[in-house]
Structure 1
Amino acid sequence: MSTEQPRDDDPFRKRPSEPSGPPPPPGPGPEGGGAYSGGGQPPGAGGPYGGGPYGGDPYGGGGAPGPGGPGNPYGDQYGAADPLAGMPPLANRGKRLIARIIDGLLVSIPVTAVFKAAVWDWDPGDWNDGRSTSLGIIVSVVYFVYEGLMLTKRGQTVGKMVMGIRVAMLENGAIPEGSPGWTRAAVYSLPQVVPCCGFVFWLVNVLWCTWDQPYHHCIHDKAAKTVVVSAV
């Protein structure tokens, strides 16, 4: 019988330090923190968002409110506000058009009368006269001041009051005080002082609400982050 001892470099030799069976299931760690030492959460259970300031998964587990959440009472890109939420519905486009016509007449008629009184020999039908261009610029500037003041004070022009609609901040429904009101008025009125191109921009601007969804925005609404809603 051979008495040869197994060599230390034998790869099939079982060493005393090796376990003789399958590894034991994970149990409480030395600090009582589960299989993940240090008391940490397993990957995926918390992650960088699970214990963050929003208290949950940003993709549906209690994450931060999205654009259609409580911060935006008029809904999000998937639809307008739910009337049951107690928020005013979007204004009818026809009412918005009539309100603009009322405001336009309210500004242009007295401005034109004053201008004509100041220039006795001026014929309004002579569109090649530089004074016609001057009148257009004056009307646009006066309209800008008129609308800016009305919107920042009460969110309505006279035309909008007649039609029962108002301008509100998209974020919270408030009156567009300060910069938003003046921005909205400027984008609507002042481009018209630019010959030719100004009128084209104005036309595209006012027609934009006919296809914009879900807020029926014109370009001046987008610039000021406002929306036109019912006031009744």
Structure 2
Amino acid sequence: MSYPPPPPPDMPPPVPIGHPAPPPYAYAYAPPPLPGPPPELVAPLGKRFLAKLVDTLLVAALAIAVIVPIGTYLDTEPEGAPLALAVVGMVLTILFALFFYDPLLTATGGTVGKRLFGLKVVRLETGGPVGFGAALGRHLLAWLVNNMLCVPLAYLWATWDKPHSQGLHDKIVRTVVIRTR
């Protein structure tokens, strides 16, 4: 999917011979249009919040589905229960949540929450798909910034960003969230 082409810049009319030249313009040419989607395609913040909430609840449910049975198993086993099994299960769950759920699904069209609410993450300049590397960087940047500051700054950034309502993580990896329907 690519964005519609911008309208051609307005050019001043030619000056007839023998008349004074008009005052100089601020630019010798029209400035290039800003990259990105038209404003009507930018995803509303409310839908983005709800999509993130659905994704968070889904990953939390998955973590509980993996960790609770391991904890139950360890409680019922005698003293020599394999603690390594519990550690491996928890580490795999965290790695899945950090490195696969959001980045992999974002690179292939959108997470469950984004698809549910008709949203998609695309490249800012082209409107094309986001590769796995950019999706992974986007997700890890948001996670890192939000956890280092203990404030969801990466997501709050979208509330004052103009014209594309990009989160801080979107700005850094040059992505934007758009509506698909």
Structure 1 residues 188 and 117: CA distance shift in structure 2, 3 A: same
Alignment pair present for 1:147 and 2:114: no
CA contact (8 A) 1:108 1:139 kept: no
Tell me, what secondary structure is at the counterpart of 1:214?
coil
| Larger RCO (CA under 8 A, 6+ residues apart) | 2
Give the alignment's Cα RMSD to 1 decimal: 3.1
Structure 1 residues 97 and 164: CA distance shift in structure 2, 3 A: same
Structure 1 residues 140 and 96: CA distance shift in structure 2, 3 A: farther
Question: Which among 98, 117, 130 is matched to residue 50 of structure 2?
Answer: 98
Question: How many Å separate the matches in 1 of 2:158 and 2:39?
Answer: 20
Structure 1 residues 167 and 179: CA distance shift in structure 2, 3 A: same
Question: Which among 157, 166, 189 is matched to residue 111 of structure 2?
Answer: 157
> In the alignment, what sits opposite 1:118?
70
Higher helix share: 2
Amino acid across the alignment from 1:60: A
CA contact (8 A) 1:167 1:229 kept: yes
Moved over 2 A (4+): 59-62, 134-141, 199-202
Residues 182-197 of structure 1 aligned to structure 2 (within 5 Å): 182-189=136-143, 191=144
Residues 41-190 of structure 1 aligned to structure 2 (within 5 Å): 59-61=27-29, 66=32, 68=34, 72-74=35-37, 81=38, 83=40, 89-120=41-72, 138-139=93-94, 142-154=97-109, 156-189=110-143
Q: CA deviation at 1:66?
A: 2.8
Structure 2's unaligned 5+ residue stretches are: 1-26, 76-85
CA contact (8 A) 1:183 1:223 kept: no
Structure 1's unaligned 5+ residue stretches are: 1-58, 75-80, 84-88, 123-130
Tell me, what secondary structure is at the counterpart of 2:51?
helix
Higher-Rg structure is 1
Identity value in percent: 27
Normalization by structure 2: what TM-score?
0.67
Question: How many Å separate the matches in 2 of 1:140 and 1:199?
Answer: 18
Question: How many Å separate the matches in 1 of 2:64 and 2:133?
Answer: 29
Q: CA deviation at 1:60?
A: 3.1
Tell me, what secondary structure is at the counterpart of 2:106?
helix
Alignment pair present for 1:211 and 2:160: yes
Alignment pair present for 1:224 and 2:173: yes
Q: CA deviation at 1:198?
A: 1.8
Normalization by structure 1: what TM-score?
0.53
Count residues in correspondence: 144
